[in-house]
Structure 1
Amino acid sequence: MSKKPSIPKGTRDFSPQEVVKRNYIIDTIKASFTRFGFQPIETPSFENSETLMGKYGEEGDRLIFKILNSGDFLSKVDDTLYAEKDSGKITQRISEKALRYDLTVPFARYVVQHQNEITFPFKRYQIQPVWRADRPQKGRFREFYQCDADVVGSDSLWQEVEFVQLYDAVFAKLKLDGVTIKLNNRKILSGIAEVIGETDKLIDFTVALDKLDKIGEEGVKTEMRGKGISETAIQKVQPLFEAKGNASEKLTLLSELLKTSETGKKGVSELEFIVSTISEIGLQTANLEIDVTLARGLNYYTGAIFEVAAPEGVNMGSIGGGGRYDDLTGIFGLPNVSGVGISFGLDRIYLVMEELNLFPETVAEGSRVLFINFGEAEARYALKAVTRLRQQGISAELYPDAAKMGKQMGYADKRDIPFVVLAGEKEMEDGQYTLKNMKSGDQDQLNLDALLNALK
């Protein structure tokens, strides 16, 4: 017996209905990107390993899918190296490429390679799949789409303000009310590490802090201790775990905590600018909140950090995130090019909209009319009308086989096609078409022009 086919864990097939709904989200995001002045680019699904490795921190590197070299890939591994059983060393010999982990690092590589063709500041958007060797769970997949928008070539904080507006514009269009745009600043995290005397453990500190919503306060403290962060330092950051109140109150807390750190004070100042500007302009539907524990765990953020939470009551992780990365292009040989960007989590947004029943009914509409096939001559007659309808922008199809009427009508019913056209010998003689409303059962005999008008 042949083995039942399956797909890898963390991947999915999408039905026609699901693809249509996903495209609705993508088209909404894409339209907003365009309105905000972003231009589209695309990059390869896989990159040279050296492009990706070392850009996401130790945890991120472990989640990168490596691609085996072509041919006899083990020929470059000598017996001594093979006997060591060191997968890291062996991987360097047998794999030179990897699937992209995100769209930001490939974008930085793109900017460096095409710097002479780009007009700065360069505003780009990119909607493509990425891959991560993560543990699959609700809302977390190994293959998923990212919808990114970035600006490089400007260190102006107006860009951060615009990205808050962009998030708000997209979620307002999707009628996804009550999302929360969380905001922090990497300089604040660096300042905190400085004032608690753990500057050399900044990455360990931020990675642990970023897990607060997953493992709780005690879990974060345990992880910090495990990374060698002192008990005294952990006590000094206790105010972060207890921070409550509005943006103004949290900024006051941060100002007091970071009064001895110039880097930290700079981060507070940047947050104050973004919050005060958005407060003056206003948002359509989203909430803006300062989250003093938000870190996002990625090495390349240097300024503002964004994360978007689903509406209250929906059990879902972040549905968007991003931040400023002043040094990212420098690692590819183009220093002093500041960048900032955000990403929309398409798959999680889809799940949230499904749960809240936010997709418009019209999104799932397919063919508007099915022509019944009575035989070769009748099919030719019907196809002329089908062609005219399609030219007028009306989705129409002809059933391919002259099957029993019940089978053809059942097909229309299962596909939720609202109208059926019957064109047999009598209709052909009269130059008519019988239009049947599948919901009401009403039927009308119409010529082609009247049929076009009835179906518009």
Structure 2
Amino acid sequence: MAQKPSIPKGTRDFSPLEVAKRQYIISVIKKHFERSGFQPIETPSFENSETLMGKYGEEGDRLIFKILNSGDFLAKTKEEFLQTKNSLKITPQISEKALRYDLTVPFARFVVQHQNELEFPFKRYQIQPVWRADRPQKGRFREFYQCDADVVGSTSLWQEVELVQLYDAVFSDLKVEGVTIKINNRKILSGIAEVIGASDKLIDFTVALDKLDKIGEDGVKTEMLAKGISEEAIDKVQVLFNFSGSLSDKLQQLRELLATSEEGTKGIEELTFICETVEELGLKSAQLNLDVTLARGLNYYTGAIFEVAAPETVKLGSIGGGGRYDDLTGIFGLKNMSGVGISFGLDRIYLVIEELNLFPETVSNASDILFFNYGNTEAKYALKAIQKLRETGIKAELYPDKVKMDKQFKYADKKGIKYAVIVGETEMQQNIFGLKNLHSGEQQNVTLQELMSKFL
């Protein structure tokens, strides 16, 4: 007996309706990207390994899907590496390419490679799949789409303000109200580590602090102590464990905490400009929240850091994120090319909209009309009309076979087609069409022009 086919864990098939819903989300995101002046690019699904490795930290490197070299890939591998089973030494010799982990690093490579062809500041958007060898769970997949918008070639903080507005515009358009746009600044995190005398433990400090919601104050302090951060240092940042109030209140608490840190003060100035400007301009439905525990992308973010949380009624992780990177292109030899960007998590946004039942009823890939097939003569008459309808943008199809009406009715029902056109000898003689509402059962005779008007 043949084995039942399956797909790898962390990947999915999508039905026609699911694809229609995904395309709806993408169309809204794309619309707002283009309204904001971003231009589309695409990059290969796989890159040279050296382009990706070492750009995401040790954990990120482990999650990159490596592609085996073609042919006898073990032939050129050193025997000593095979005998010691040293995977870190073997991997570069048997795999020279890898699936992209995100869209940001390939974009940096694109900018460096095509720098003489681009006009700076360069605003690009990119909507393509990425792959991560992660452990699959709800909202976390091994293959998923990212929808990115980045600006490179400008250090202006107005870009951060516009990206906050872009998040707000997209989620408002999708009717996903109540999202929280969390914001922090890498310089503030560096300033905190400096003030407590633990600059060399910045990563350990921020990773522990980021777990405050999950393991609580005592758990975070225990982890910090285990990482070699002293009790005296932890006491200096006690205010962070009860960090609350308005944006201005939080900024003032940080000013007092980081008064002796030049870098931390610079971060506060940047955040103050962004937060105060956004507050003055206003947001449609999103909330902007200063979250000092936000510490994503520390390997390349140098300024503002963003993360978007779903509405509180939906228990899901982040649905977007991004930040400022002052020298991401520097890893490819192009110095002093500052950039800032954000990403929308298409798959998680889909789950949020589905859970909140926010997909419009009009989101469907079903045809508007199904012409029933009564025979060759009737089918030819129907196709002439179908051609006219399609030219005006109406989705119409002909059932391909002359079969019992019951089967054609079931076909329309399963595809979600609401109207059927019935054409027999009488209709052809009078040059009309029988239009039947398959939900109500109501039927009327219409001309071709009236049929078009019904769906335009």
* TM norm structure 2: 0.97
**Distance (Å, rounded) in 2 between the aligned partners of 1:86 and 1:56:** 21
Check conservation: 1:203, 1:299, Cα contact below 8 A: no
1:163-220: CA deviations, max 9, x gaps?
1111111111111111111110000011111111221122232233334344444444
SS of equivalent residue, structure 1 residue 362 = coil
Match of 1:177 in 2: 177
**Distance (Å, rounded) in 1 between the aligned partners of 2:4 and 2:225:** 47
Q: Which moved more, 1:327-336 or 1:292-301?
A: 292-301
Alignment pair present for 1:342 and 2:342: yes
Alignment pair present for 1:395 and 2:395: yes
The one-letter amino acid paired with 1:290 is L
Match of 2:107 in 1: 107
Match of 2:201 in 1: 201
Q: Which moved more, 1:332-341 or 1:135-144?
A: 135-144
Report the Cα offset of residue 224 of structure 1: 3.4
CA gap of 1:267–1:108, structure 2 versus 1, over 3 A, is same
**Distance (Å, rounded) in 1 between the aligned partners of 2:133 and 2:278:** 37
**Distance (Å, rounded) in 1 between the aligned partners of 2:252 and 2:46:** 45
Structure 1 residues 308-347: aligned runs within 5 Å? 308-347=308-347
Report the Cα offset of residue 3 of structure 1: 1.2
Check conservation: 1:423, 1:434, Cα contact below 8 A: yes
**Distance (Å, rounded) in 2 between the aligned partners of 1:419 and 1:354:** 26
RMSD between aligned residues: 1.5
Report the Cα offset of residue 256 of structure 1: 1.4
CA gap of 1:250–1:61, structure 2 versus 1, over 3 A, is same
**Distance (Å, rounded) in 2 between the aligned partners of 1:147 and 1:291:** 23
Report the Cα offset of residue 231 of structure 1: 3.6
What runs of 5+ residues in structure 1 fail to find an aligned partner? none
Check conservation: 2:419, 2:438, Cα contact below 8 A: yes
The one-letter amino acid paired with 2:278 is I
Match of 1:76 in 2: 76
1:218-243: CA deviations, max 9, x gaps?
44444434433334333333321221
The one-letter amino acid paired with 1:240 is L
**Distance (Å, rounded) in 1 between the aligned partners of 2:360 and 2:454:** 23
Match of 1:161 in 2: 161
Check conservation: 1:210, 1:297, Cα contact below 8 A: no
Alignment pair present for 1:285 and 2:271: no
Alignment pair present for 1:131 and 2:131: yes
Structure 1 residues 113-124: aligned runs within 5 Å? 113-124=113-124
Q: Which moved more, 1:214-223 or 1:390-399?
A: 214-223
1:41-74: CA deviations, max 9, x gaps?
1111111111111111111111111111111111
SS of equivalent residue, structure 1 residue 359 = coil
Check conservation: 2:186, 2:298, Cα contact below 8 A: no
**Distance (Å, rounded) in 1 between the aligned partners of 2:3 and 2:80:** 39
Match of 2:258 in 1: 258
Match of 2:382 in 1: 382
Check conservation: 1:206, 1:297, Cα contact below 8 A: no
The one-letter amino acid paired with 1:131 is W
Report the Cα offset of residue 10 of structure 1: 0.9
Report the Cα offset of residue 381 of structure 1: 1.4
The one-letter amino acid paired with 1:379 is A
**Distance (Å, rounded) in 2 between the aligned partners of 1:162 and 1:194:** 31
Report the Cα offset of residue 92 of structure 1: 1.1
Check conservation: 2:134, 2:142, Cα contact below 8 A: yes
Check conservation: 1:148, 1:344, Cα contact below 8 A: yes
Check conservation: 1:24, 1:363, Cα contact below 8 A: yes
CA gap of 1:124–1:193, structure 2 versus 1, over 3 A, is same
The one-letter amino acid paired with 2:430 is D
CA gap of 1:216–1:126, structure 2 versus 1, over 3 A, is farther
Report the Cα offset of residue 365 of structure 1: 5.5
Report the Cα offset of residue 2 of structure 1: 1.2
SS of equivalent residue, structure 1 residue 74 = coil
**Distance (Å, rounded) in 2 between the aligned partners of 1:222 and 1:83:** 41
Check conservation: 1:203, 1:297, Cα contact below 8 A: no
**Distance (Å, rounded) in 2 between the aligned partners of 1:244 and 1:24:** 37
* TM norm structure 1: 0.97
Check conservation: 1:207, 1:297, Cα contact below 8 A: no
**Distance (Å, rounded) in 1 between the aligned partners of 2:380 and 2:17:** 30
Q: How much identity, in percent, do the aligned residues show?
A: 73
**Distance (Å, rounded) in 2 between the aligned partners of 1:32 and 1:215:** 38
Match of 1:358 in 2: 358
SS of equivalent residue, structure 2 residue 135 = coil
**Distance (Å, rounded) in 2 between the aligned partners of 1:84 and 1:271:** 50
Check conservation: 1:65, 1:99, Cα contact below 8 A: yes
Q: Which moved more, 1:13-22 or 1:421-430?
A: 421-430
Report the Cα offset of residue 448 of structure 1: 2.2
Report the Cα offset of residue 453 of structure 1: 2.5
Runs ≥4 in structure 1, deviation > 4 angstroms?
Answer: none
Match of 2:21 in 1: 21
**Distance (Å, rounded) in 2 between the aligned partners of 1:116 and 1:85:** 44
**Distance (Å, rounded) in 2 between the aligned partners of 1:147 and 1:212:** 29
Check conservation: 2:16, 2:365, Cα contact below 8 A: no
Match of 2:95 in 1: 95
The one-letter amino acid paired with 1:340 is V
SS of equivalent residue, structure 1 residue 76 = coil
In the alignment of these two chains, the number of paired residues is: 456
**Distance (Å, rounded) in 1 between the aligned partners of 2:298 and 2:99:** 18
